Amino acid sequence: MVLKIFFPQCCNMADSGLLIGRWLPGHDSAVVLAVIHYPFIPGQVKKYLSQMRSETDVDLTVLGSWSMPKEGQEGMDSFLKDLSTIFPHNRWLKISREVGKSGFHCDMVGNEGTLFTDKSKGKDESIPNGEKDGGDNGGSKKIIFIHYDQRKVMLSQLHPVHEAIQNSKAEPSELRAMFQTVSHSQALFFLDRYDDGPLKTTHWQSEGREASIVVELLKQGSVPLCMLITWMLSVWHWICGIRILNTRPIQFISSKLSTCVQLGHRTEHLQTVASPKKATGHMDFMRKANIFVSFFVDMALGLLLISWLYRENRIGQFANTLVPVADHVAKELQELLQWLMGAPAGLKMNKALDEVLGRFFLYHIHLWISYIHLMSPFIEMILWYVGLSACLGLTFALSVLSDIVALLTFHIYCFYVYGARLYCLKIYGLASLWRLFRGKKWNVLRQRVDSCSYDLDQLFIGTLLFTILLFLLPTTALYYLVFTLLRLVVVLFQGLIHLSVDLINSFPLFAMGLRVCRPYRLAEGVKFRVLTQEPGTPLHLLMEINPIKCSTVVQFYRTPTYSCYPRDSWGALCKKLFVGELIYPWRHKSSTKMD
């Protein structure tokens, strides 16, 4: 049988004393957490362990004794040996270290005085009570020391490799139980050598706990700041609860504006960060930290954008450029319509329908340019106030930019809707009339195609309509194709903006910072390497932490958020474009089942 002892590296040179730790239930393993130095009073040690059990919810106990030779402590071994009769135990470890050797000697005493030896010593020890262990080779055990960095294990979070392990209700594995034991024993590490107490211990913080005046001031200042944010959010919810703002037209418009959606999203983030409830677990803490860092970075980028916009009168330059650009776009669209009203690419179009559609779209362009010129004196002032939205974050500025692009290209959207509706009407009309020729019809109630008999008048009218729609289809399809391509260019540009906003909102900056600066904080597993293997001593292994991959960090800690991705697949999207159904880019993932 193999006995594994997880031993902290910070205790390798500790003074002689008692080993404090825990026996892992269901495993033949022990986790050493600290060493209590001599001199001590056994009653004070029992009282201290009882207090630690209530504070840590960990079954802490005295695992055994630790002997480190030192001048003036020649009788320490016999004193520590007698302590096994004072502290209740099932197994008692006697670990000692000789000067000049890196390996340890270890013996284990059973609850009835049975002595179990390490097989690696190559010698047989006597068994005082004549009892044999149930393992191989009588009372001998293979003892392995696993040295670990207590600070890294204390601060790390061991992630499951598979989802089945995470969702299973079975007992945790030996390695996970070891990590949980160290992380839940935080109260045990508060006692350091500078405390004037009856006990002196050695652990990863025994040299003095780290502290920062800046961190303490931030903790003290975060309480009134969170109260202020909570009050401001309550006022904002009261404003949003006004009856006139909850009418259906206003709710419909606000749900389609990217700025309003982003404002609601950031409000939820502020509620999460400013919540007085303490984080209940690792995932809750990481979510709050990622949201806070994302909000901080967003605000910083927004302030940088403001400092760039309002320097050297760039707002005025943009305003002076906007009207000429709008005129240029209108001129290009007019030339495009003139080209379509002629013989585009040598195609023979229906002259009457071509003239009607061309004049109809030209009139829309004329209306839109007149509106832009009417608003031109106020554009600079509008842009000046709109640019201040960047003080709420770069995501707000990008959302406002997306809405401005949507408003400036509204005429293109109208052209696309007109062309798509007309094209879709002809496609479905041709499909229905084609079923008429084959003696079929669409059953609306049963959602299927059934057989049907038609008379001569119905067949004559159907043939006439089919011929008209078929010969008018190329002209309609050409206009639909041109304006659909223009609309897709606008949607692509808005999609890039929305992707940028989504990236800032959801990217786990805090978790990625931990992965880069302190990779041991997010552990995927561990690896072992042989530390020393001296003759007559147990095997010593060093446990090192394997950090999780960066892609796993992004996938695991990504903040759920809305997205501009269409709810349909690429195949369904192409099918909609072919039959002329409208593509609505404002459908978000929040309306579908999120992964």
DSSP assigned state of 6: E
pLDDT value at position 126?
38
DSSP assigned state of 535: T
Instruction: Say yes or no: 8 and 151 in one domain.
Output: yes
Instruction: Say yes or no: 26 and 159 in one domain.
Output: yes
Contact indicator for 294, 509 with CB cutoff of 8 Å: yes
- What are the residues facing 93 on neighbouring strands? 64, 108
Classify residue 91: in a domain, yes or no.
yes
Classify residue 18: in a domain, yes or no.
yes
- 374's CB contacts (< 8 A; 6+ apart) are none
Classify residue 414: in a domain, yes or no.
yes
Out of 167, 202, 237, a domain closes at 202
pLDDT value at position 164?
40
**From CA 169, how far away is CA 484, in angstroms rounded?**
54
Q: Count the neighbouring beta carbons within 10 Å of the beta carbon of residue 10.
A: 20
Classify residue 163: in a domain, yes or no.
yes
Instruction: Say yes or no: 314 and 195 in one domain.
Output: no
Stretches in the chain below the pLDDT threshold 50: 122-138, 161-168, 564-566, 586-595
* Residues in the chain, total: 595
Enter the pTM of the model.
0.75
Classify residue 374: in a domain, yes or no.
yes
Classify residue 237: in a domain, yes or no.
no
pLDDT value at position 264?
83
Classify residue 570: in a domain, yes or no.
yes
pLDDT tens digit sequence for 210-233: 666 666 666 666 667 777 777 777
Out of 187, 202, 217, a domain closes at 202
Q: Return the structure tokens found at 206.
A: 């025994």
Instruction: Say yes or no: 363 and 481 in one domain.
Output: yes
Give the angle subtended at the CA of 17 by the CAs of 16 and 21, to the nearest 5°: 125
Classify residue 538: in a domain, yes or no.
no
The CA dihedral of 297, 299, 300, 306, to the nearest 10 degrees, is 150
pLDDT value at position 221?
67
**From CA 150, how far away is CA 186, in angstroms rounded?**
11
Q: Which residues of 285-322 are buried (b: 16+ CB within 10 A; e: fewer)?
A: ebbbbbbbbbbebbbebbeebbeebeeeeebeebbeeb
pLDDT value at position 6?
92
Domain count, the chain: 2
Out of 183, 202, 221, a domain closes at 202
Which residue range is the domain that position 586 belongs to?
Answer: 309-507+559-590
